[in-house]
Structure 1
Amino acid sequence: MLVQAEFIKSAFYPKDFPIIDLPEVCFVGKSNVGKSSAINTLINRKDLARVGKTPGKTRLLNFFSIKAKDISFVLVDLPGYGYAQVSKKEREEWKKSIENYLKFRNNLKLVVFILDIRRDPDEQDEVMFKWLKAYNKDFVMLLTKSDKLSNNEIAKRLKELYLHPMINVDNCIIFSSLTKRGKDELYQKIVECCTK
């Protein structure tokens, strides 16, 4: 599916973001929701996005060039939010950096908003949801770690999640980095948003 993936640069401030005439897709979610694993699964690499046992490893915005059969785009790995063992000042800096990216990045075509299927969205997820709405960004919700649940448990969780006002049944992809469930669906969503 994907033929080439290369690291471009890491940056924190908008002035340092790379200027590339390609559509962008960013991945965002709380620390420890499986964001790095989802990125690596999508692009068939084990080590492009850093996967660590300690949450909060991604502290900068990491930009990658992706060249696939159907599309070329820039993939942006945003810092995971909500990690408690980081100073309040650093959390605020991350928050500002993420918001600046969402607010000013004109070639951003799709936000992959990642939630652990086993957990309800919390206040920080709701802040992210409000930003995406306020800045009119297209997004898809990737419900990760589905391999941790049985099919019956997934069905039950979906019924519960769909009662939440920020969850839309038509805008969710059930995903697993272990079984690759949802990988093709996510890729097709990226192609669709980057080519329209």
Structure 2
Amino acid sequence: MNLTIFGASGKTGRLLVQNALEQGHKVTAFVRSPERLGLWHERLCVVVGTLENDEAIERAVIGADAVAELVGTVSEGIERIIAAMKRHGVRRLVAASACSVSDPNDLPDFELSLLVSFVESRRPENIQAVRRTAAIIRDSDLDWTLVRIPVLNDRPGGGAVAVGYPGHGEVTIYLSRADLASAVLRIMESDDQIRRAPVVSNSLQPASDR
């Protein structure tokens, strides 16, 4: 597949680029500073730009089979990405979001509610931006998936991963960036989560029990 990754030089983005290359995909990495990415590969194309640069965004999405957007809170940027995807017939969008974005499949979950309340009390502007971005994506006619992310950590990957909805006994409030990158790649490769907004987390099940 031809995969485009916005936010490719961030901690999760870089892991996603590495995973995708290891799985044999061609990757276009959209970055502000290529030196932060620090990767070179025959199947890797680096596009340098910002989410205010329509021409760079267009170059990044042309020919893509799927696009990952890992920046998360820049609503003007996601509007430009969506517009470029529509102009070039690219349908599949997998976008990072947060547990502060609700979904009809959610049930009451005390831990996640506490987490959202904690963040909202300290960074209400971030919560509003994330929700605004999610609404823009949901209102598009793309084959989108919102990946709602809990508290991230830098533990090694390979843990048990849950992809589900709060209140169903599936998801927790923790997730390693390595496992997030692996989960995003699996979602990009499939049609299983189209028009859905699951929470991805490390599950309650120990990896040794899988």
Q: TM range, normalised to the smaller chain?
A: 0.3 to 0.5
Whose RCO is larger (CA < 8 A, sep 6+)?
1
- State the TM-score, normalizing by the size of structure 1: 0.43
- State the TM-score, normalizing by the size of structure 2: 0.41
